[in-house]
Chain A
Amino acid sequence: DAGVIQSPRHEVTEMGQEVTLRCKPISGHDYLFWYRQTMMRGLELLIYFNNNVPIDDSGMPEDRFSAKMPNASFSTLKIQPSEPRDSAVYFCASSKQGQSHEKLFFGSGTQLSVL
């Protein structure tokens, strides 16, 4: 199993540009999560999906952020327009539906720098 795959590994962009982060969850997993990690705020849950449907997006910071999951094997997190304060590591994670205490599997993250 390849695990959760995120791309790109690093992204450097200029303020005002659109940024798209990508995630491929583990095959057979029903839940997909997007987290953001910064030194100041730690790991924050932004949004999660169940069976491709967004369930809770209360952690999305503002309208500049949007996430989609068009099918079971792909999700995107888009920031438009990007700002320097969006600089962070963005993690995608997936888990399998079933028992409520299923464990999360995280990707390696995307290091985003907005100049």
Chain B
Amino acid sequence: DAKTTQPNSMESNEEEPVHLPCNHSTISGTDYIHWYRQLPSQGPEYVIHGLTSNVNNRMASLAIAEDRKSSTLILHRATLRDAAVYYCIAEEYGNKLVFGAGTILRVKS
């Protein structure tokens, strides 16, 4: 699994878009990029994952750089309920994930 680097924390205003960056310069061609988030007092929950193309789902969008050395998780309109720790993981096997420190996202009303 490739090492990922994320900012320790970020702050956003409610109802505004949030772009959470992740660097994974040592990613291999078979590593997927997975994003999970952990709300206070809960277990992590899946957000989105992708390999090469940008991905969208009801929760978020994932923009993957052309060289795949970085990616960005996009929350289109942050709400207070999106305040959480966001984890970016570059891993070939989605069912054996090693979590890093993640980014603490604070959302201001």
Partner of A101, one of B42, B87, B94: B94
B95 and A100 contact, CB distance less than 8 A: yes
Q: Interface size class for chain B?
A: 20 to 34
From residue 80 to 101 of chain B, which have CB atoms closer than 8 A to chain A? Answer: 87, 92-101
A43 vs B32: C-alpha distance when bound (angstroms): 19
Q: Which of A37-77 contact B (CB under 8 A)?
A: 42-43, 45, 48, 56
Our count of residue pairs bridging A and B at CB distance below 8 angstroms stands at: 59
Q: Is B24 an interface residue (CB 8 A)?
A: no
Cα distance, A109 to B36, chains bound together (Å) = 16
Instruction: Give min CB distance, A46 to chain B, whole Å.
Output: 12
Q: A100-B92, A100-B93, A101-B93 are in contact. Are A45 and B98 (CB under 8 A)?
A: yes
A106 to B43, CA, bound (A): 5
Q: Bits for B11-31, please: 1 = Cβ < 8 Å to A, else 0.
A: 000000000000000000000
Sort chain A's interface into a size bin: 20 to 34
A108-B96 contact, Cβ under 8 Å, with A42-B101, A101-B34, A103-B49: no
Q: Which B residues fall within an 8 A CB radius of A?
A: 32, 34, 36, 42-46, 49, 51, 87, 92-102
Q: Which residues of A contact B (CB under 8 A)?
A: 4, 31, 33, 35, 42-43, 45, 48, 56, 91, 93, 95, 97, 99-109
